[in-house]
Structures are given as structure tokens and as C-alpha cells.
């Protein structure tokens, strides 16, 4: 059983921010910024491809609620939403989850370095994606 399933089953404690019948949101134990919250479905799915459309809808609606809570209660002017899909993308726990990270002006967080395509590379990628 994965660690998030143990949290859902209350075998492991967490700092619950929000909970309903199908989802749970709790503070990340290693936050990027104070208030960094994880949002998970109560049903186990490993990644975005596995989750049912219905459970994904419930999950993203909870992400939206948590974002609003962070803005209202912490005074965060904005937040990042991130889902690391599979280990190569940084998914450490094999249970789909969204990170909702409150942002403050001048918090110095730059999520991703940006790159440029080499000449002709975008066209080649587009051909593969639309073939």
C-alpha cells in the first residue's frame, strides 16, 4: 500500500487542509513555500493516464478549492499547480497528486528553466505529435 493510501486510511497522520468524500488535501511535509498543499484522490491511481474522468474532475475541483483557500487564508496573490507524472517527471509517490503552491511577490521561485528549439526541431516534434 502506498504512503498516500495509508494517509487516506489514517494509518499515517497528516495536516488536513480540506477533505470530501472523494478527495483529500494536506500540507506537504517538505514545502516549496509555506502552505504548499498536496491534493489526492481517495481512490488509488498511479498517474494521470489511469485516473477515471469522473475522479479527475473531482480532483481538479478540489485543487481549485484549495487554491482559493490559500489565497483567502494566507493572502497569497497566486499559486502554482503542478502534477509530476511518472518517476522521470519527478513523481516520488506512485499515487496521482497535484501540488498547489502558494506564491508571494518576490519569493524567488522560478519553476522551470526555459529553452529554445533548434532550427527545424519544433517542426519535427509537431510532425510526431500530430501523425
Collect the ranges in the chain with pLDDT lower than 50.
none
In a domain, 98, yes or no: yes
The pTM score is 0.92
- 22 lies in a domain? no
The residues carrying an active-site annotation are: 97
Residues spanned by the domain of 88: 28-110
List CB contacts of 117: < 8 A, sequence separation 6 or more: 125
Which pLDDT score, from 0 to 100, does residue 48 have? 97
Helix (H) or strand (E) holding 69: helix 53-74
Is 43 a domain residue?
Answer: yes
Q: Note whether residue 76 is domain-resident.
A: yes
pLDDT for 59 equals: 98
The number of distinct structural domains making up the chain is: 1
Q: What is the pLDDT of residue 53?
A: 98
pLDDT at 31: 96
Residue 3 included in any domain: no
Q: What is the structure's pLDDT at 35?
A: 97
Residue 9 lies in a domain: no
81 φ, ψ (degrees, to nearest 5): -120, 130
Element of type H or E holding 19: strand 16-19
Distance linking the first and last C-alpha atoms of the chain:
39
Which CATH number characterizes residue 32's domain?
A: 3.30.428.10
Amino acid at each position: 500500500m502506498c504512503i498516500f493510501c495509508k494517509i487516506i486510511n489514517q494509518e499515517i497522520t497528516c495536516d488536513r487542509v480540506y477533505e470530501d468524500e472523494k478527495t483529500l488535501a494536506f500540507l506537504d511535509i517538505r514545502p516549496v513555500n509555506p502552505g504548499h498543499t498536496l491534493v489526492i484522490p481517495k481512490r488509488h491511481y498511479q498517474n494521470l493516464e489511469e485516473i477515471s474522468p469522473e475522479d479527475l474532475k473531482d480532483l481538479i475541483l478540489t485543487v481549485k478549492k484549495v487554491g482559493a483557500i490559500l489565497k483567502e487564508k494566507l493572502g497569497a496573490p497566486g499559486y502554482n499547480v503542478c502534477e509530476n507524472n511518472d518517476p522521470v517527471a519527478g513523481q516520488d509517490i506512485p499515487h496521482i497528486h497535484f501540488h498547489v503552491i502558494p506564491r508571494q511577490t518576490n519569493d524567488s521561485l522560478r519553476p522551470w528553466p526555459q529553452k529554445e528549439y533548434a532550427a527545424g526541431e519544433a517542426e519535427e516534434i509537431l510532425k510526431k505529435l500530430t501523425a
